[in-house]
Amino acid sequence: MEKNSISQHISHQFNEELEDVRNKVLAMGGLVEEQVVYSMESLVTGNVEQAELVISRDYQVNAMEVAIDEESVQILARRQPAAGDLRLLIAVIKTITDLERIGDQAERIGRMAIHLAEMERPKSQYTELANMGERVRTMLHGALDAFARMDAEAAVSVAQQDAKVDSEYDAIMRQMITFMMEDPRNVRRTLDIMWSARALERIGDHACNICEYVIYLVKGKDVRHTSLEQMEKEVRE
Protein backbone atom coordinates (compact mmCIF):
# COMPACT_ATOMS: atom_id res chain seq x y z
CA MET A 1 0.00 0.00 0.00
CA GLU A 2 1.45 3.33 -1.02
CA LYS A 3 1.72 6.26 1.35
CA ASN A 4 -1.21 8.65 1.50
CA SER A 5 -3.54 6.25 -0.30
CA ILE A 6 -6.30 3.80 0.34
CA SER A 7 -7.15 1.23 -2.33
CA GLN A 8 -9.77 2.55 -4.72
CA HIS A 9 -12.83 0.45 -5.51
CA ILE A 10 -15.61 0.36 -8.04
CA SER A 11 -17.91 0.89 -5.06
CA HIS A 12 -17.60 4.54 -4.12
CA GLN A 13 -19.39 3.79 -0.87
CA PHE A 14 -16.71 1.25 0.12
CA ASN A 15 -14.05 3.93 -0.38
CA GLU A 16 -16.00 6.29 1.84
CA GLU A 17 -16.43 3.64 4.54
CA LEU A 18 -12.68 2.98 4.70
CA GLU A 19 -11.84 6.68 4.75
CA ASP A 20 -14.47 7.31 7.42
CA VAL A 21 -13.14 4.67 9.79
CA ARG A 22 -9.56 5.90 9.29
CA ASN A 23 -10.58 9.48 10.05
CA LYS A 24 -12.35 8.34 13.20
CA VAL A 25 -9.17 6.66 14.40
CA LEU A 26 -7.30 9.94 13.93
CA ALA A 27 -10.03 11.83 15.79
CA MET A 28 -9.75 9.37 18.66
CA GLY A 29 -6.00 9.78 18.57
CA GLY A 30 -6.36 13.54 18.81
CA LEU A 31 -8.54 13.22 21.90
CA VAL A 32 -6.14 10.77 23.51
CA GLU A 33 -3.18 13.05 22.81
CA GLU A 34 -5.07 15.90 24.51
CA GLN A 35 -5.67 13.64 27.49
CA VAL A 36 -1.95 12.96 27.78
CA VAL A 37 -1.10 16.67 27.52
CA TYR A 38 -3.70 17.75 30.07
CA SER A 39 -2.83 14.97 32.52
CA MET A 40 0.85 15.93 32.44
CA GLU A 41 0.08 19.62 32.85
CA SER A 42 -2.11 18.87 35.85
CA LEU A 43 0.60 16.66 37.35
CA VAL A 44 3.38 19.23 36.99
CA THR A 45 1.34 22.30 37.99
CA GLY A 46 -0.97 20.74 40.59
CA ASN A 47 -4.07 21.85 38.66
CA VAL A 48 -6.80 19.68 40.19
CA GLU A 49 -9.57 20.97 37.90
CA GLN A 50 -7.60 19.97 34.84
CA ALA A 51 -6.94 16.53 36.32
CA GLU A 52 -10.65 16.08 37.00
CA LEU A 53 -11.37 17.04 33.39
CA VAL A 54 -9.06 14.29 32.17
CA ILE A 55 -10.78 11.75 34.41
CA SER A 56 -14.26 12.83 33.32
CA ARG A 57 -13.40 12.62 29.60
CA ASP A 58 -12.11 9.06 29.71
CA TYR A 59 -15.60 7.74 28.90
CA GLN A 60 -15.39 9.58 25.56
CA VAL A 61 -12.25 7.65 24.66
CA ASN A 62 -13.94 4.37 25.60
CA ALA A 63 -17.05 5.23 23.59
CA MET A 64 -14.99 6.04 20.51
CA GLU A 65 -13.16 2.72 20.75
CA VAL A 66 -16.45 0.80 20.90
CA ALA A 67 -17.98 2.75 18.00
CA ILE A 68 -14.95 2.37 15.70
CA ASP A 69 -14.63 -1.30 16.56
CA GLU A 70 -18.28 -1.94 15.71
CA GLU A 71 -18.00 -0.04 12.43
CA SER A 72 -14.87 -1.97 11.45
CA VAL A 73 -16.51 -5.32 12.19
CA GLN A 74 -19.53 -4.36 10.11
CA ILE A 75 -17.29 -3.47 7.16
CA LEU A 76 -15.44 -6.79 7.52
CA ALA A 77 -18.70 -8.73 7.51
CA ARG A 78 -20.36 -6.80 4.71
CA ARG A 79 -17.44 -6.18 2.33
CA GLN A 80 -15.17 -9.15 3.07
CA PRO A 81 -12.08 -7.10 2.17
CA ALA A 82 -8.76 -8.57 1.09
CA ALA A 83 -5.11 -7.52 0.88
CA GLY A 84 -4.47 -3.89 1.84
CA ASP A 85 -8.07 -3.19 2.81
CA LEU A 86 -8.08 -6.10 5.22
CA ARG A 87 -4.77 -4.96 6.70
CA LEU A 88 -6.19 -1.47 7.15
CA LEU A 89 -9.15 -2.72 9.16
CA ILE A 90 -6.96 -5.02 11.26
CA ALA A 91 -4.58 -2.12 11.93
CA VAL A 92 -7.53 0.09 12.88
CA ILE A 93 -8.91 -2.44 15.37
CA LYS A 94 -5.50 -2.94 16.98
CA THR A 95 -4.65 0.78 17.02
CA ILE A 96 -7.85 1.83 18.82
CA THR A 97 -7.15 -0.78 21.50
CA ASP A 98 -3.78 0.83 22.21
CA LEU A 99 -5.30 4.31 22.08
CA GLU A 100 -7.88 3.30 24.67
CA ARG A 101 -5.11 1.98 26.90
CA ILE A 102 -3.16 5.21 26.49
CA GLY A 103 -6.34 6.99 27.60
CA ASP A 104 -6.43 4.78 30.68
CA GLN A 105 -2.84 5.71 31.51
CA ALA A 106 -3.65 9.41 31.10
CA GLU A 107 -6.57 9.01 33.49
CA ARG A 108 -4.25 7.27 35.96
CA ILE A 109 -1.83 10.21 35.77
CA GLY A 110 -4.75 12.55 36.39
CA ARG A 111 -5.64 10.67 39.56
CA MET A 112 -2.02 10.78 40.71
CA ALA A 113 -2.02 14.54 40.01
CA ILE A 114 -4.94 15.00 42.42
CA HIS A 115 -3.12 13.07 45.13
CA LEU A 116 0.10 15.00 44.61
CA ALA A 117 -1.63 18.39 44.57
CA GLU A 118 -2.31 17.94 48.28
CA MET A 119 1.39 17.53 49.12
CA GLU A 120 4.58 19.55 49.02
CA ARG A 121 5.82 20.10 45.49
CA PRO A 122 9.65 20.03 45.23
CA LYS A 123 10.29 21.30 41.70
CA SER A 124 13.27 19.01 41.25
CA GLN A 125 11.02 15.96 41.40
CA TYR A 126 8.85 17.12 38.48
CA THR A 127 11.39 18.38 35.95
CA GLU A 128 12.46 14.94 34.73
CA LEU A 129 8.85 13.76 34.75
CA ALA A 130 7.80 16.71 32.59
CA ASN A 131 10.61 15.98 30.13
CA MET A 132 9.59 12.33 29.92
CA GLY A 133 5.96 13.35 29.43
CA GLU A 134 6.86 15.59 26.51
CA ARG A 135 8.88 12.81 24.89
CA VAL A 136 6.05 10.27 25.06
CA ARG A 137 3.56 12.88 23.78
CA THR A 138 5.87 13.49 20.83
CA MET A 139 6.05 9.74 20.24
CA LEU A 140 2.27 9.44 20.28
CA HIS A 141 1.87 12.37 17.90
CA GLY A 142 4.48 10.89 15.57
CA ALA A 143 2.82 7.47 15.61
CA LEU A 144 -0.55 9.00 14.73
CA ASP A 145 1.05 11.07 11.99
CA ALA A 146 2.70 7.94 10.56
CA PHE A 147 -0.71 6.23 10.61
CA ALA A 148 -2.35 9.19 8.87
CA ARG A 149 0.30 9.28 6.14
CA MET A 150 0.77 5.49 6.02
CA ASP A 151 4.50 6.11 6.40
CA ALA A 152 6.45 3.05 7.55
CA GLU A 153 9.78 4.87 7.72
CA ALA A 154 8.31 7.51 10.00
CA ALA A 155 6.91 4.73 12.17
CA VAL A 156 10.40 3.28 12.61
CA SER A 157 11.78 6.71 13.56
CA VAL A 158 9.14 7.03 16.28
CA ALA A 159 9.82 3.52 17.60
CA GLN A 160 13.50 4.40 17.96
CA GLN A 161 12.56 6.99 20.60
CA ASP A 162 11.32 4.34 23.00
CA ALA A 163 14.83 3.51 24.17
CA LYS A 164 15.22 7.10 25.40
CA VAL A 165 11.89 6.89 27.22
CA ASP A 166 13.01 3.69 28.94
CA SER A 167 16.29 5.35 29.93
CA GLU A 168 14.47 8.36 31.40
CA TYR A 169 12.11 6.04 33.25
CA ASP A 170 15.02 4.14 34.81
CA ALA A 171 16.66 7.42 35.87
CA ILE A 172 13.47 8.64 37.55
CA MET A 173 13.07 5.32 39.38
CA ARG A 174 16.61 5.53 40.74
CA GLN A 175 16.08 9.13 41.82
CA MET A 176 12.80 8.33 43.59
CA ILE A 177 14.28 5.37 45.43
CA THR A 178 17.07 7.65 46.67
CA PHE A 179 14.53 10.19 47.93
CA MET A 180 12.66 7.50 49.85
CA MET A 181 15.85 6.22 51.44
CA GLU A 182 16.89 9.72 52.49
CA ASP A 183 13.56 10.58 54.11
CA PRO A 184 10.83 7.94 54.68
CA ARG A 185 8.30 10.76 55.07
CA ASN A 186 8.50 11.18 51.29
CA VAL A 187 7.30 7.65 50.58
CA ARG A 188 3.69 8.41 49.63
CA ARG A 189 4.56 11.33 47.35
CA THR A 190 7.43 9.44 45.79
CA LEU A 191 5.31 6.37 45.07
CA ASP A 192 2.72 8.52 43.28
CA ILE A 193 5.48 10.02 41.14
CA MET A 194 6.82 6.55 40.39
CA TRP A 195 3.37 5.34 39.33
CA SER A 196 3.04 8.38 37.08
CA ALA A 197 6.41 7.65 35.48
CA ARG A 198 5.32 4.05 34.95
CA ALA A 199 2.16 5.26 33.21
CA LEU A 200 4.26 7.42 30.89
CA GLU A 201 6.55 4.50 30.10
CA ARG A 202 3.50 2.43 29.16
CA ILE A 203 2.22 5.21 26.89
CA GLY A 204 5.54 5.05 25.05
CA ASP A 205 5.12 1.29 24.64
CA HIS A 206 1.60 1.71 23.25
CA ALA A 207 2.87 4.35 20.80
CA CYS A 208 5.46 1.81 19.62
CA ASN A 209 2.69 -0.74 19.13
CA ILE A 210 0.86 1.70 16.86
CA CYS A 211 4.07 2.10 14.84
CA GLU A 212 4.20 -1.68 14.41
CA TYR A 213 0.65 -1.66 13.06
CA VAL A 214 1.59 1.06 10.58
CA ILE A 215 4.43 -1.10 9.28
CA TYR A 216 2.06 -4.06 8.99
CA LEU A 217 -0.45 -1.88 7.15
CA VAL A 218 2.07 -0.50 4.66
CA LYS A 219 4.45 -3.44 4.21
CA GLY A 220 2.22 -6.40 5.10
CA LYS A 221 4.86 -7.60 7.56
CA ASP A 222 4.25 -8.42 11.21
CA VAL A 223 7.14 -6.87 13.17
CA ARG A 224 5.74 -7.45 16.65
CA HIS A 225 8.21 -9.01 19.11
CA THR A 226 11.15 -8.28 16.82
CA SER A 227 14.21 -6.13 17.41
CA LEU A 228 14.41 -2.55 16.22
CA GLU A 229 17.10 -3.62 13.77
CA GLN A 230 14.80 -6.25 12.29
CA MET A 231 11.99 -3.72 12.08
CA GLU A 232 14.23 -1.32 10.13
CA LYS A 233 15.28 -4.15 7.80
CA GLU A 234 11.68 -5.11 7.03
CA VAL A 235 10.82 -1.52 6.18
CA ARG A 236 13.82 -1.07 3.87
CA GLU A 237 13.07 -4.25 1.89
Q: What pLDDT does 9 receive?
A: 54
Distance CA 77, CA 136 (A): 36
Output the CA–CA distances (angstroms, integers) from residue 118 to 40, 92, 109, 113, 114, in the order listed.
16, 40, 15, 9, 7
Q: How many CB atoms lie within 10 A of CB 182?
A: 9
Q: Cβ-count burial of 15 within 10 angstroms (0-12 exposed, 13-18 middle, 19+ buried)?
A: middle
Q: Count how many domains the chain has.
A: 1
Q: Cβ-count burial of 217 within 10 angstroms (0-12 exposed, 13-18 middle, 19+ buried)?
A: buried
What CATH number does the domain containing 66 carry?
Answer: 1.20.58.220
Distance CA 191, CA 189 (A): 6
Residue 17 in domain:
yes
Q: How many CB atoms lie within 10 A of CB 122?
A: 11
Residue 135 in domain:
yes
Residue 156 in domain:
yes
Residue 4 in domain:
no
Residue 171 in domain:
yes
Residues 56, 119 contacting (CB under 8 angstroms): no
- 91-107: per-residue pLDDT in tens? 999 999 999 999 999 99
- 71-83: per-residue pLDDT in tens? 999 999 998 888 8
Domain of 182 in residue numbering reads as: 12-236
Per-residue pLDDT of the chain (237 residues; tens, 9 = 90+): 444 455 555 567 888 999 999 999 999 999 999 999 999 999 999 999 999 999 999 999 999 999 999 999 999 999 888 888 999 999 999 999 999 999 999 999 999 999 998 887 766 678 899 999 999 999 999 999 999 999 999 999 999 999 999 999 999 999 999 988 888 888 888 899 999 999 999 999 999 999 999 999 999 888 888 888 888 887 887
State the DSSP code for 183. -
